[in-house]
A and B are shown apart, each in its own frame.
Chain A
């Protein structure tokens, strides 16, 4: 029982990171139709932004986190200006290939800047351990779950209670009509890239203390976030959350109760099962419904 509680919390924590990465992925996909193959590298950049600010620059926690997230937001804006704006009139596949190219560039840039030796990103709450029903639980894991829940709540407020967020939803649903309503469409599109980069940044900062900060960490994250969106329903925000948590839990529980060698097999096996049996995922629209 104590094992199970520990595993559940750890699964939810890693699942939260997948969920945040998946949410960023979905926000960009629904706003622009672009499947962002650099999404995993966004998270890796988030982790290394933390490495740069907290380990290299030795900034105190609040300042370091703030600086890392600011850097990520700027990076999201840069990504929009460098990749999306010049290519926006091209077929969407061209932009998708562009994200692959930038993803590779990002990984190698990080390798060049930080080297191949992994770092350990500390957590502000790593010395805190909680005891629940006899189980010792890492404070970081609990903090990750809380921060993620907070982010989801903030996103909900943004999308459903502010005119900015309603505008972003409108752009995602019908960009031409959004233009006719007088919305500043390009700004809203840029905002969706910035938001995706910010969420990836938060995910990366929280992931750093759980994994080692390694420049090749982006690909496994991208695959897990992708699996999360398939399971939850492609293009669905609630689906990204549920899918992310599900992938995290299945991975941790699978590693413990089956075999750690099979943990990826289990989460990807479930994803393939979904593709075969229910390709629209838990919450999803049928993919062919999108023009």
Chain B
């Protein structure tokens, strides 16, 4: 479904990603793990069209994304819950959610079904639907970020560090939902520092270190891998 071929992304002189090749198949959940600064967020932003690609290409459903702006990529079905959640602070929960429907919504078309689905997944959002984004707790903001990404009716969901800054119990709750979304048949690429959580939902995973993919394999294989165990699982 998604393929990055020999992708290099640089900010001026600083090369953030070097020759990254990865693939996400239909209905798969793929994790991209790595330490802070490894280039994980850079990769997701490149896929969403926020970062210019220096060389290599990103292919979605067989077509290159090179010429497409971020709005077209969302319309193709690539939706992202970004790092740090980036909830619109001055918009209500419902406005945050409704905003993400612009790519498919036609004039006066109802979004009630999509809203109901988001509220089913995250009942807490329903209680807070009239509250402004800034007033939500970190966990609620993360749920809103994921719910908002789903409102775009994606075919590929990109999640950037959904556990960031959350208490362990909340992080697990968020991942519970991620698993639920994956089970519903959506393709997911999740970027995560918390390797245990990421490998608990992923079918396959890639390990990114200073802009290069250093390891890849099925989640089960990586859990057994000595290098992963020492560097990322701490045992």
Contacts and interface: CB of A to CB of B under 8 A. Distances in A.
A204 B87 CA distance: 38
A181 B81 CA distance: 9
B82 A177 contact: yes
B48 A180 contact: yes
Interface in B92-144: 95, 98-100, 102-103, 105
A275 interface: no
Contacts, number: 68
Contacts of B88: 169-170, 173-174, 177-178
B137 to A, nearest CB: 19
A181 B90 contact: no
Given A166-B91, A174-B88, A179 B98 contact: no
Contacts of B80: 180
B75 interface: yes
B71 A182 contact: yes
A178 B50 CA distance: 11
Interface residues of A, number: 17
Nearest to B160: A180
A163 B102 contact: yes
Given A169-B88, A173-B88, A182 B74 contact: yes
A256 B86 CA distance: 51
A96 interface: no
Nearest to B76: A182
B157 interface: no
Interface in A146-179: 163, 166-167, 169-170, 173-174, 176-179
A182 B152 contact: yes
A163 B96 CA distance: 11
B155 to A, nearest CB: 13
A184 interface: yes
Contacts of B103: 182
A8 interface: no
Given A176-B82, A179-B70, A180-B82, 4 more contacts: A179-B50, A181-B102, A182-B152, A183-B102
Interface of B: 48-50, 70-71, 73-75, 79-80, 82, 86-91, 95, 98-100, 102-103, 105, 148, 152
